[in-house]
Amino acid sequence: MKKWMDLLREETVAAFVEAGYDAKYGMVNVSNRPDLCQFQCNGALAAAKEYHKAPLAIAEEIVPILSKSPYFEKVEAVRPGFLNLTCKNEMLAAYVNEMAAAAQFGAEKAENPRTIIIDYGGPNVAKPLHVGHLRSAVIGEAVKRICRFAGHNVIGDVHLGDWGLQMGLIITELKKRQPDLPYFDADFTGEYPAEAPFTIGELEEIYPYANAFSKTHPEYLEEAHQATYELQNGNRGYLALWQHIINVSVSDLKRNYENLNVTFDLWKKESDAQPYIPDLVQYLKDEGYAHISEGALVVDVKEETDTKEIPPCMILKSDGATLYNTTDLATIVEREKLFDPDTYIYVVDKRQGLYFEQIFRCAKKCKLVPAETEMIFLGFGTMNGKDGKPFKTRDGGVMRLENLIAEIKGAVYDKIMENRQMTEEEADEIARKVGVAALKYGDLSNQASKDYIFDIERFTSFDGNTGPYILYTIVRIKSILKKYEEMGGSYDAKVSSEVNESELPLLLKLVGFNEMTQTAYEEKAPHKVCQYVYELANAFNSFYHETKILAEEDEAKRAGYIALLKVVLGVLETCCDLLGIEAPEKM
The site for ligand ARG (CB under 6 A) is made up of 119, 122, 124, 159, 161, 328, 346, 348
Smallest separation (angstroms) from ligand ARG to the CB of 315: 15
By beta-carbon proximity to ligand ARG, the closer residue of 348 and 439 is 348
Smallest separation (angstroms) from ligand ARG to the CB of 119: 5
Smallest separation (angstroms) from ligand ARG to the CB of 325: 9
Residues forming a β-bridge with 380 = 349
By beta-carbon proximity to ligand ARG, the closer residue of 3 and 127 is 127
Q: Where are the alpha helices (DSSP H) in 287-423?
A: 324-339, 353-365, 401-419
**What is the rounded CA–CA span in Å between residue 358 and residue 303?**
11
Residues forming a β-bridge with 293 = 296
Neighbours of 498 (CB within 10 A): 12
By beta-carbon proximity to ligand ARG, the closer residue of 400 and 566 is 400
By beta-carbon proximity to ligand ARG, the closer residue of 83 and 329 is 329
By beta-carbon proximity to ligand ARG, the closer residue of 143 and 438 is 143
Local structure of 199: helix, strand or coil: coil
Smallest separation (angstroms) from ligand ARG to the CB of 136: 7
Smallest separation (angstroms) from ligand ARG to the CB of 274: 14
Q: Could you write out the three-class secondary structure of 6-60?
A: HHHHHHHHHHHHHCCCCHHHCCCEECCCCCCCCEEECHHHHHHHHHCCCHHHHHH
**What is the rounded CA–CA span in Å between residue 537 and residue 469?**
8
Q: How far is CA 458 from the centre of its chain?
A: 21
* Contact predicate 81/48, CB 8 Å: yes
By beta-carbon proximity to ligand ARG, the closer residue of 106 and 161 is 161
Which DSSP string do the residues of 532-548 spell out, in sequence order? HHHHHHHHHHHHHHH--
**What is the rounded CA–CA span in Å between residue 441 and residue 468?**
9
**What is the rounded CA–CA span in Å between residue 241 and residue 512?**
54
Residues forming a β-bridge with 376 = 345
Sheet holding 153-157, edge to edge: 153-157, 115-119, 343-349, 374-380
Q: How far is CA 172 from the centre of its chain?
A: 38
Q: Of the candidates 448, 410, 449, which has an alpha carbon nearest to the alpha carbon of residue 430?
A: 410
Which residue's CB atom is positioned nearest to ligand ARG? 122
By beta-carbon proximity to ligand ARG, the closer residue of 167 and 416 is 167
Using only C-alpha atoms, what is the Rg of the chain? 29
Smallest separation (angstroms) from ligand ARG to the CB of 510: 38
Smallest separation (angstroms) from ligand ARG to the CB of 495: 46
Smallest separation (angstroms) from ligand ARG to the CB of 158: 9
Smallest separation (angstroms) from ligand ARG to the CB of 167: 13
By beta-carbon proximity to ligand ARG, the closer residue of 48 and 347 is 347
Smallest separation (angstroms) from ligand ARG to the CB of 210: 17
**What is the rounded CA–CA span in Å between residue 279 and residue 383?**
40
* Contact predicate 564/547, CB 8 Å: no
By beta-carbon proximity to ligand ARG, the closer residue of 358 and 460 is 358
By beta-carbon proximity to ligand ARG, the closer residue of 138 and 348 is 348
